[in-house]
Structure 1
Amino acid sequence: MAEESDTDPAPKARPPGRACGSGAAAAAVALTVATGAMDAISFLALGGVFTSVMTANLSLLGMSTASLDAALARDSAVAMAGYIVGALVSGRIVRGSRPALRARCALTVELLALGGLWAVWASADGHPAGGRQLGLLAVAALAMGGQSGLVRAVGPPGFSTTYLTGTLTGVLVDAVRSGTVRRLSIALLGGLVVGAAAGGLLVAHAARAAPALPTGLVGLVLLASLTSLARDAQGHLWPHSE
């Protein structure tokens, strides 16, 4: 370790995006923006629940019991069920050899789910209701669960593009302990906020096109993964260090 310090005086100070490949970092941020957009869409137009933050949905499920809100309980349960199925399917897809190829397959499944959601959403003129709304909520949660399972399987321990409470905690603790912050962590947190803001604006002012944002971003990441743009020097699709 001492020899490493002599050759690289401050290895932890290197920008994470550059250390792991700027393309891989950009792909992670793009998926995080898609997550924020999808959460905003689901919260504002698909029942007031989230498609990626299952801890929040568990809390909503608990509150629905206290308030006897059957609709909230139903929507929370549907979102969690969709997320669980997506994570299981994605985890199964990426298990085995040739992880890069398997990761692309998992991304393709997510893209197909979001594309189907967009088509049904548009057919409802951006205002789904009843069974259609529940179905779209399940599909959206499935897509986000799939993304979570994919990144969990092929990324570094603790890395995520969907649930970022740990990332926020890491930024705060690192700032206090070492006075430094990791650029990628900040970019992911900012991407989530930007995505949520954009998704909310689309629901409010261009509802019919709202799912185009997360669908398009996932599509761009998949397209980039077919080239070297979204891979680091070792061929990984995701950052392997924060």
Structure 2
Amino acid sequence: MTTPSPDRSPWPGRNGATRHLLTLAAGAANAFGFLALDGVFTSVVTANSALLGLHLGSAHLAAARLVAVALLGYVVGAAAGGLVAAGRGRLRGAGIRGGLLLEALLLWLVVCGWLGWHMAPHGAARTLLLFLTALAMGCQNGSVRVTAGGEVTTAYLTGLLTSTVTAFATRGRLQARSVGIVASLIAGAAVDGAVYRWLRPGAPLVPALLVTAALAATWLRAPTRPATVPLRL
């Protein structure tokens, strides 16, 4: 089984715009989780795994429980997103649009909960919002993985950054597209951090709008390259 390259994504519409919008959304969702939901990331599994061990080792069981909720949400979301995107059961042919639709619905539920609890969820309400946000991020990564292969990522960028740095160090080749993806994650987190500080009601709205825009981008007509005509001498 061959893995599709990022340059030949099977996604419909403007796949480059879709990927950048999803990466921005991942950065924003992680910022929202960290700032609003007790310092827990929503898609950075490596960091959350380390946090879980740290909290367990230091006997901070309440904090460990929240991290475990985020990890569980991510795992369930990845399975759900993968199944929907693969078109299993009655959802045959759903593809990336099915996965993004499910993710968008989850993020809009988070928006409703955030506003309904007046930007101050406590106890079970905060845990629920954390679970739903992590569920959405797992859904995003699962659907991306199924439809575009392992080389395309929109949230966990450690491998992408490592390959970019090593390619530049060993071969002198700077992969500008990969740098742009990493920059998108940082930009998404920065935007949501600013919104959380200055316009708190809109904090979960940022990732919801970005994923909705990514879904819309799959319906836009992809740019067509002009056919090249061989020059006859």
TM range (shorter): 0.7 to 0.9
AA paired with 1:119? C
Q: Aligned partners of 1:205 and 1:73: how far apart in 2? A: 29
- Normalised by the size of structure 2, how large is the TM-score? 0.86
Q: Which among 111, 125, 142 is matched to residue 118 of structure 2?
A: 125
Q: 1:54 aligns with which of 45, 61, 73?
A: 45
Write out aligned runs for 1:1-242 (5 A): 23-96=14-87, 101-229=94-222
Rounded to whole Å, the distance in 1 between the matches of 2:219 and 2:71 is: 31
For residues 108 and 131 of structure 1, the distance between their equivalents in structure 2, rounded to whole angstroms, comes to 26
Question: Secondary structure at the residue paired with 2:86?
Answer: coil
Give the Å deviation of 1:96: 4.5
Residues in 1 aligned to 2:24 and 2:121: alpha-carbon distance in whole angstroms: 23
Q: How big is the alpha-carbon RMSD for the aligned residues of Structure 1 and Structure 2?
A: 2.2
The unaligned stretches of length 5 or more in structure 2 are 1-5, 226-233
C-alpha deviations, 1:186-215, integer Å up to 9, x for none?
Answer: 111000100111111111111111111111
Deviation of 1:100 after TM superposition, in Å, equals 6.5
Change (3 A) 1:157 1:232: farther
Task: Write the distance in 2 (CA, Å) between the matches of 1:140 and 1:120.
Answer: 11
Deviations 1:117-153 (A, max 9, x none): 0011012222222111100000000000000001111
Contact 1:99 1:154 in 2 (8 A): no
Identical columns (%): 36
Aligned-pair CA distance for 1:232: 8.5
Q: How many residues align?
A: 216
Does the 8 Å CA contact 2:95/2:147 hold for their aligned counterparts?
A: no
Aligned partners of 1:25 and 1:184 also within 8 Å? no
TM-score when normalising by structure 1? 0.83
- Which residue in the other structure is 2:228 paired with? none
Q: Which consecutive residues of structure 1, in runs of 5 or more, have no partner in the other structure? A: 1-15, 234-242
